Chain A
Amino acid sequence: MKTGTPKHTWNHQTLAPWFFLAIPLLMYMTWVIVPIIQSMFFSLTDRDSILFQRQFVGLGNFIRLATDPTFHLALQNNLFWMISFVLVPIPVGLAIAMFFNQDYPGARWFKTAFFIPMTLSYAVIGTIWAWIYQPDFGALNTLLRSVGLDTLARQWLGDRRYMTGALIVVGIWRQVPYVMILYVAGLKNVPSELIEASMIDWASWWQRFTNVVLPMLRPATVVAVTISIIDSLRAFDIIYVMTNTKARAAEVLASYMYSSAFTFQDYGYGSAIAVIQFLITLGFILIYVNNTLKSEEKL
């Protein structure tokens, strides 16, 4: 007589999911996993050796990264993007969402208006903002001059000191509505009983916000922060469209990777930059995935 756990058998129940997953998995392997591994491998090769005979340089490309001032600048700019993307769009997006969460005439209309930047592609946004920033007849400097602030008018995209800042403003302009939508959805999930209970207890608006609403919005905040950080690391389109990636002052990891690999055919070095960017992004993605899995378990 046999005892113990039943032996694992292949039947319809266990095979079916693999059958359905087979094609997507295969495609994922071919188009995502294999290229990632390939880039890691390329990052150990010299200059344009992908196209010609392959020459291993070990960690040579990474050693060069450590002393490359342009790479340091790109890292610094990326950090600047990241910090700005957390500090500005999150509170502003939340404030707008809170504001429009109340019922009053036109709230829906305003919500839509605020959402519109999200629907535009980065290329379009970059082109429009390049006009706004045009130093001689662009909207921004014209506005500054019309209110007597001539001294504040700048070459926003032509002066190395302001370039990155000007680009981040554009990124934020696009990011705020995204965060707003996340919070609008989050606010819908705050049970009205809790709000009513806090009102019965005579909690002030601020107490209600910090002790009831904000804790209930924790999942939305985690998503908003991680998505914003990942978006800040992806910043490339705006920079490419607005600066031609020729001026090194605004360089970030993605644009430096692009110009190294594709403009100057230094595929080894470009791959090394890509690997670093991958590792940084992966860290944040793991935090994000981990958090989503946890909240799913709770449900």
Chain B
Amino acid sequence: MKKVLTLILAVLVAASVFAGGGQQASGQQELIINSYMSDQAPKEAFEALVADFESKNPTIKVTVNTTAHEQFKTLLPNWLTSRQAPDVVTWFAGYRMQAFAQRGQLEPISRAFPGNTFQDSFPEAFVRASSFNNEIYFLPQSWYWWAVYYNTEVFDNLGLEIPKTWDDFLAVSEVMKQNGIAPIAIGARDTWTAGGWFDYLNSAINGMDFHVQLTSGQVPYTDPRVQKTFETFADLQTRGYIMPNATSYSWQEAATLLFNGQAGMYLMGQFIKDVAPAEVRDKIDFFHFPSFGLPGYAVDTPIDGFMVPANARNKDAAMKFMAYLATPEAQALFTVPLGRLAANKNVPPPNDDARRGLEMVLGAEGAMQFYDRDAPEEMAARGMDALLEAMQNPGRIPQILATLDQDRVRIHRD
């Protein structure tokens, strides 16, 4: 008898699973979103957003599949080629989006924006970063800035001023070093932390135009100007300004040193505030990367958002979701709790930090997306590894750059 009951139960469970996958209740549509927002704060903000969308579109049932960031990057190319692609995926603007658009794997989202609503909602630079061959493939949602985050308590205790120039920066570092505080925190076990240094040093030393040419593969890495960038970074290590054992720490572990005052400064994205404990959050402030004497400056401002795969099964619902995501209300719902900037220009900055971040960006001569979004991913990965190798072996910089340039020639060959 027991066996019969188990069997019946098993059949019922199986049947309900099949029913769920196949037939929908009349008029019900399913929207499948694959998301990389696995950190607690963004995940919660996104859940609230999805709930709001569902309440406004009762006929659409949203399923969110969350995958950890690094795994997501590996899986996305497979999802996009699969015949059972998700309807919406999270992703990055610029090069990273274009890589898929040029292979025809993305659905243009223009039809969700009749007339000029897209162009009216977003700044021109964002429209450009969302387009490929005059078609819009990317919905920008939030963006943030990279800057030198610093511990205000450390600066106050040592009577330090915010450094404006590179010489000031070195002087400030020297004082911290003399006082037993690691001037520069960097969690270089995560090699991407070196990407921020590469972007800011290279654009500050050699100018924004040169940086754009380099990341788009037009200039060899053996150029003496690139060597200057690498040498300047390695010099920080030689002077003993970079925290000890930096390559053994993850980015969050290194942030802890900044939070508790063992380190003074950390070149990082605004998301460093996501991991700061509430009691130290107000002690952490940021300033713009110091100048090497060039008139303008560039900032790292990665844009995050969404795309619709060409193989999506429910494109109608996906387009509704795109139109919804672009609205100022939906953008605020996500960005305000996280203190980021909304891509929609009609959403005011959520707090004072964001207002200052926005000012810094508006005053810049150009915006970078971040090394691994401005350059092909493999090129950036090799470049960031090379920068860290240069830090540990300053004497080998010419050889390191020669190898890196071989990679550039191969990766950018078409």
Q: Which residues of A contact B (CB under 8 A)?
A: 48, 51-52, 64, 69, 133-136, 155, 157-160, 244, 246-249, 262-266
Contact = CB atoms under 8 A, between A and B. Distances in A.
A222 to B, nearest CB: 39
Contact of A48 (B77, B190, B403): B77
B247 A158 contact: yes
A158 B248 contact: yes
A248 B73 contact: no
Contact of A244 (B77, B189, B246): B189
Which of B188, B190, B245, B378 gathers the greatest number of chain A CB atoms within 10 Å? B245
Contacts of A157: 189, 248
Interface residues of B, number: 26
A263 B245 contact: no
B153 interface: no
A158 B385 contact: no
Given A263-B74, A264-B378, A159 B392 contact: yes
Nearest to A258: B74
Contacts of B385: 246-248
Nearest to B75: A262
Contacts of B245: 135-136, 155, 158
A247 B382 CA distance: 9
B248 A160 contact: no
Given A51-B81, A64-B410, A266-B378, A159 B247 contact: yes
Contacts of B81: 51-52
Interface of B: 73-74, 77-78, 81, 103, 188-191, 244-248, 377-378, 381-382, 385, 388-389, 392-393, 403, 410
Nearest to A156: B248
A158 B246 contact: yes
Contacts of B189: 157-158, 244, 246
Contacts of B77: 48, 51, 265
The 4 A-B residue pairs whose C-beta atoms are closest, nearest first, are A158-B247, A158-B248, A264-B378, A135-B245
The dominant DSSP class at the B interface is helix
A262 B74 contact: yes
Contacts of A51: 77-78, 81
Contacts of A134: 248
Contacts of A249: 389
A52 B189 CA distance: 34
Contacts of A135: 244-245, 248
A181 B78 CA distance: 42
A249 B393 CA distance: 13
A263 B76 CA distance: 11
Contacts of B190: 244, 246
Contacts of A247: 191, 247, 385, 388
A52 B393 CA distance: 40
B381 A246 contact: yes
Nearest to A248: B385
Contact of B377 (A64, A160, A248, A264): A264
B159 to A, nearest CB: 28
B327 to A, nearest CB: 34
Nearest to A130: B248
A91 to B, nearest CB: 32
Contacts of A160: 389, 392-393
B103 A52 contact: yes
A209 to B, nearest CB: 44
A263 B403 contact: no
A244 B73 CA distance: 14
A249 B386 CA distance: 11
A264 B247 contact: no
21 contacts: A51-B78, A51-B81, A133-B248, A135-B244, A135-B245, A135-B248, A136-B244, A136-B245, A155-B248, A157-B248, A158-B188, A158-B189, A158-B246, A159-B247, A160-B393, A244-B189, A246-B385, A247-B191, A247-B385, A264-B381, A266-B378
Contacts of A48: 77
A77 to B, nearest CB: 15
Contacts of B78: 51
A8 B247 CA distance: 70
Contacts of A52: 81, 103
Given A48-B77, A247-B388, 19 more contacts: A51-B77, A51-B81, A133-B248, A135-B248, A136-B248, A155-B247, A155-B248, A157-B248, A158-B248, A160-B392, A246-B189, A247-B247, A247-B385, A248-B382, A249-B389, A262-B74, A263-B381, A264-B377, A265-B77
Nearest to A154: B245
Contacts of B382: 248
